[in-house]
């Protein structure tokens, strides 16, 4: 099985034309999934697409996107519980659990993000955050918050400890995310991760292509 490479563009790039240009350089590969801002989905052509978030139902929820909507557009993947959602938008484990349940109902492939902040106990954070896990979740992404967007990736030996703890608790693919780049991504595969969740480096096409 080829390692999964999932790109989380976050709220980038800042224009439709830049998104078009970026997509035009990404080859379709079965193990590569691009999660752009939803407003750019139509540019994805035939690459595998994922959403960076979604709400748990359709209806009077201004600004939200539902699992049914994603399903109807053949967006098969969805990231839930990203630390930026938890920290900037105050998403709780309870809310994330509802989202997980609703996305499973639509057979979306969920990438559930977990990870500790600096100084927090890894095992107790994993215990709390993995309470949102349900059978059928496609992958758990271990993303230590302090390693995200800082250029200070978690050493693969350290990340391996988290991998083992996660594998003890749940049965699904496990990815690493946090300052992954074209040089260090292989280290995470070597210690047993099933793939990587890439932020900043997925916007730099040269860097991203090294991984592909
Ligand atoms: P960076 O690769 O920019 O550190 O972001 C990681 C991330 O948050 C992916 O979801």
d(CA 49, CA 38) in angstroms, rounded, equals 10
Q: How far apart are CA 21 and CA 95, in angstroms?
A: 35
* Ligand 1 pocket mutation pick from 146, 149, 182, 183 by most atoms within 8 angstroms of CB: 149
Here the CATH number for the domain that contains residue 165 is 3.20.20.70
Q: Is residue 58 part of a domain?
A: yes
The pocket around ligand 1, CB under 6 angstroms, is made up of 8, 82, 143, 148-149, 177-180, 197-201
Active site residues: 82, 143
Q: Note whether 86 and 94 are within 8 A (CB).
A: no
Residue 177 lies in a domain: yes
Q: Which helix (H) or strand (E) holds 186?
A: helix 185-190
Confidence (pLDDT) at 34 = 98
Give the distance (Å) from ligand 1 centre to CA of residue 178.
5
The answer as to whether 23 is a domain residue is no
Whether 175 is in a domain gets the answer yes
Distance 19 CA to ligand 1 centre (A): 18
Within-domain flag for 24: no
pLDDT of residue 1: 82
pLDDT at 80: 98
| Closest atom, ligand 1, to C-alpha of 150 | 4
- Look up residue 102 and give its DSSP letter: H
Rg (CA), the chain: 16
Nearest ligand 1 atom to alpha carbon 148: 4
Host domain of residue 136: 4-13+31-211
Say how many domains are in the chain: 1
- Encode the chain (212 residues) as per-residue pLDDT tens digits: 899 999 999 999 999 999 999 999 999 999 999 999 999 999 999 999 999 999 999 999 999 999 999 999 999 999 999 999 999 999 999 999 999 999 999 999 999 999 999 999 999 999 999 999 999 999 999 999 999 999 999 999 999 999 999 999 999 999 999 999 999 999 999 999 999 999 999 999 999 999 99
Please check whether residue 160 lies inside any domain of the structure: yes
Give the whole-angstrom CA distance, residue 142 versus residue 161. 11
User: Would residue 197 count as lying in a domain?
Assistant: yes
Domain assignment of residue 152, yes or no: yes
Q: For residue 187, what pLDDT is reported?
A: 98
């Amino acid at each position: 099985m080829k390692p999964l490479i999932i790109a989380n563009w976050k709220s980038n790039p800042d224009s439709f034309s830049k998104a078009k240009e970026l997509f035009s350089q990404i080859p379709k590969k079965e193990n590569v999934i691009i999660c752009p801002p939803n407003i750019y989905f139509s540019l994805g052509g035939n690459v595998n697409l994922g959403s960076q978030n979604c709400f748990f139902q359709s209806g009077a929820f201004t600004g939200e996107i539902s699992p049914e909507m994603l399903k109807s557009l053949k967006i098969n993947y969805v990231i839930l519980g990203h630390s930026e959602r938890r920290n900037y938008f105050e998403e709780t484990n309870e809310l994330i659990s509802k989202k997980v349940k609703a996305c499973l109902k639509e057979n979306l492939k969920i990438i559930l993000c977990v990870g500790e902040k600096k100084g927090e106990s890894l095992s107790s954070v994993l215990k709390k955050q993995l309470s949102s896990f349900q059978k059928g979740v496609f992958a758990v992404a271990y993303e230590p918050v302090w390693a995200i967007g800082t250029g200070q990736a978690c050493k693969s030996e350290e990340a391996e400890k988290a991998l083992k703890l996660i594998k003890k608790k749940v049965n699904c693919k496990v990815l690493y995310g946090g300052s992954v780049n074209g040089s260090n991504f292989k280290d995470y595969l070597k210690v047993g991760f099933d793939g990587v969740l890439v932020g900043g480096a997925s916007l730099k096409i040269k860097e991203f292509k090294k991984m592909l």
